[in-house]
Amino acid sequence: MNALEARGVRVTLGGATILDGVDLTVAAGEWVAVIGPNGAGKSTMLRAVGGLLPAAGAISIFGTSTGRLSRRQRARLVATVAQSPVVPAGMAVLDYVLLGRTPYVPPLGRESTADLAAAREVLTRLDLHRFARRELATLSGGERQRVFLARALAQGAPLLLLDEPTTALDIGHQQEVLDLVDGLRRDRGLTVLATMHDLSIAGEYADRMVLLAGGRVAASGTPREVLTEELLATHYGARVRVIEGDHGPLVVPVRSTASGA
Amino acid sequence: MSKALRAARERQAGWIVAGVVSVVVAAIAGLAFGPVSLPPGSVAAEVLNLIPGVHMHSGLDEREIAIVTQIRLPRVVLALLVGAMLALAGGCYQGVFRNPLADPHLLGVAAGAGLAVTAVIAFRIGSGTSGGDVTSGLPLTTPVAAFAGAVGAVALTYLLGVAGGRDRSPATLILAGVAVSAFLAAGQTYVMQRNVDAIREVYSWLLGRLATAGWHDVLVILPYALVTGAVLLLFRRELDVLSVGDDEAASLGLHPQRSRYILLAAASLGTAAAVSVSGLIGFVGIIVPHTVRLLAGASYRMILPLSVLFGAAFLAFTDLVARTVASPAEIPIGVVTAFFGAPFFVLVLRTTKRVSL
């Protein structure tokens, strides 16, 4: 069964068409990266899948149309880590991660010991247990990103949506976070749909890539099929050289020869 | 970690106990002290005697018992209720707007009630049907007008904020509240300026008052206090979820917009009820939740219940100060809360890292 199946997704915001009939299929257990130039609609696509904005078209998650899912049901199937989540002042890491259990806490109720156990298990898995009582706001960027991830994992949802999960991180922490996501995907059989900025890194981790441009799918397939000099030149307006790496193609920007000094 | 967690839970329980103790202490002090000071132990015994089946010897004579149970008790209970509701509503507003300086009058409650009360007082004086002087108590219509004005102003703010465009962010609602407040305040100034006779009486209401005759006011606001208290305390976990952002709250299965409106409606109703019997008592809604946040942590699951307790205790205590410090005259309670509140407000401004809308 596919984790996600989207057909003809259209999103209009303030009169502008952001997504114009996007088809996207993600098989269970797969890591699919959504790439594309700024304004291509990557984040909007993720928000549409996550149910955060109204979208026309058909989206089904693990075989169920999202229209037939309540908000709580959807929250048990899909967890989202936004690009730069709000860091609430004064909130401790454990309390933040516990909020991930919201879809399981009865309305107007409180967390059970099972919820607490789930949050602790995630903290341990992500090597965050030392920070449990620390204030989230006092952590470094890489640590915070792990906490955001922990909150999403505590949700226990099999489909994980990550919007630019490594934007604010240095190269070492980028790898650390993505290795972690990859490990979790294998351990827990998660499916990952992530928008990614860095094309080489996206190619290293993703099974498949979808290139969005102007609200439409411009190309999709394996990293080797999508990360080509022609496609990147056409849709990003970028001069790049694509080099064969160990796990996939590496994209290297090159300076224009015409303007050489 | 489990040890740290247990310690955190114990600390929370400790704060609840401290809150209950401060309510009891403030209430007993409020009952014991005044023009006639009575021994607190005897007063406590008399309060327990109100419970059916309890008969304790307090050593107070009949007149003193009457002072405690018939004169001071209704006033202390009213102070407890009003303080609890203002602090609870303030904590709720701060959570909903993610703004540490939000106060329960933010959406027009104060301006709406102010205009309505000013109009009622001015109209009564202007039409020559005034009954009694300022000190003998305001007519029955004042609380009704205050309540209607407060609720009407919040409803207007809500309509403007929602109709104001597609942007339904809390900031839009705050701006609508500012607009409505300014508009109504202009109306109030106009009415006051046209009826200078009414100014003194209007001011005595604006500055807040807990002068009561018997249990009437308590019974009037009790149903609102119960509804507001129940809704806000039941929804306090949702406030924590809202604090991580609307998108996150939605992806966690919440309906952020709906939760926000439910919380604001309940908080505004409670504030309107409090304003209707006590006028505009400022700063309680800011000082109390803030102090609680600084002391007991940022989770609304702690902030709201502790605000109820410490808000109640704080207002009972301020009322005691208001009616004893310049005895036999009374200082308006709003002056006392502001006297403590203003310096605290500066402290908060200086220590809060970020004020975000």
Q: Spell out the per-residue pLDDT of chain B, length 357, in tens.
A: 466 667 777 888 899 999 999 999 999 999 999 888 899 999 999 889 888 888 888 888 889 998 898 889 999 999 999 999 999 999 999 988 888 778 888 888 889 999 998 888 888 765 544 444 444 444 557 888 889 999 999 999 888 887 755 566 778 888 889 999 999 999 999 998 888 888 888 888 888 888 766 788 899 889 999 999 999 988 888 999 999 988 899 999 999 988 988 999 999 999 999 998 888 888 899 889 988 888 788 889 899 999 999 999 999 999 999 989 887 788 888 889 888 777 876 776 676 544 333
User: Cβ atoms within 10 A of the Cβ of B61, count?
Assistant: 9
Interface test with A, best of B235, B251, B255, B352 (most A CBs within 10 A): B251
Is residue B149 situated within a structural domain? yes
Is residue B113 situated within a structural domain? yes
Question: A70-92 b/e with 16+ CB inside 10 Å = b?
Answer: eebebbbbbbbbbeebbbbbebb
pLDDT of residue B134: 44
Q: Quote the tokens at residue B251.
A: 């992806």
Return the beta strands (E) in chain B as ranges. Answer: none
Q: Which residues contact A18 (CB under 8 A, 6 or more apart)?
A: A11, A12, A41, A44, A215
User: Hey, are the CB atoms on B5 and A132 less than 8 Å from each other?
Assistant: yes
Share of chain B above pLDDT 90, in %: 34
User: Hey, are the CB atoms on A52 and B353 less than 8 Å from each other?
Assistant: no
User: Hey, are the CB atoms on B252 and A108 less than 8 Å from each other?
Assistant: no
Instruction: Please report residues of B whose CB lies closer than 8 A to that of A105.
Output: 237
Q: Is the pLDDT score of A258 beyond 90?
A: no
pLDDT of residue B357: 33
pLDDT digits (tens, 9 = 90+) for A155-200: 999 999 999 998 878 888 889 889 999 999 999 899 999 999 899 9
Interface test with B, best of A102, A159, A162 (most B CBs within 10 A): A102
Is residue B83 situated within a structural domain? yes
**Sign of the alpha-carbon dihedral angle for B89, B94, B95, B96:** positive
Is residue B357 situated within a structural domain? no
- Measured CA to CA, the distance from residue B220 to residue A129 in angstroms comes to 51
Count the domains in chain B.
1
Q: DSSP letter for B105, please.
A: T
Instruction: Please report residues of A whose CB lies closer than 8 A to that of B4.
Output: 132-133
Nearest Cβ partner of B237 from A14, A94, A110? A110
**Which domains does chain A carry?**
2-88+157-253 (3.40.50.300)
Is residue B356 situated within a structural domain? no
CATH number at residue B88: 1.10.3470.10
ipTM: 0.87
Instruction: Tell me the residue range of the domain where B75 lies.
Output: 2-351
Question: Which positions in chain A have a beta carbon within 8 angstroms of at least one beta carbon in chain B?
Answer: 14, 47, 50-52, 70-76, 78-80, 82, 85-86, 88-92, 94-96, 99-100, 102-103, 105, 108-110, 120, 129, 132-133, 151, 155
pLDDT of residue B85: 95
Alpha-carbon distance values, B247 to B174, B193, B221, B301 (Å): 20, 48, 37, 21
The Cα of A67 is separated from the nearest Cα of chain B by a number of Å equal to 14
Is residue B38 situated within a structural domain? yes
The Cα of B219 is separated from the nearest Cα of chain A by a number of Å equal to 28
pLDDT digits (tens, 9 = 90+) for A28-46: 999 999 999 998 999 999 9
The Cα of A233 is separated from the nearest Cα of chain B by a number of Å equal to 34
User: Hey, are the CB atoms on A99 and B244 less than 8 Å from each other?
Assistant: yes
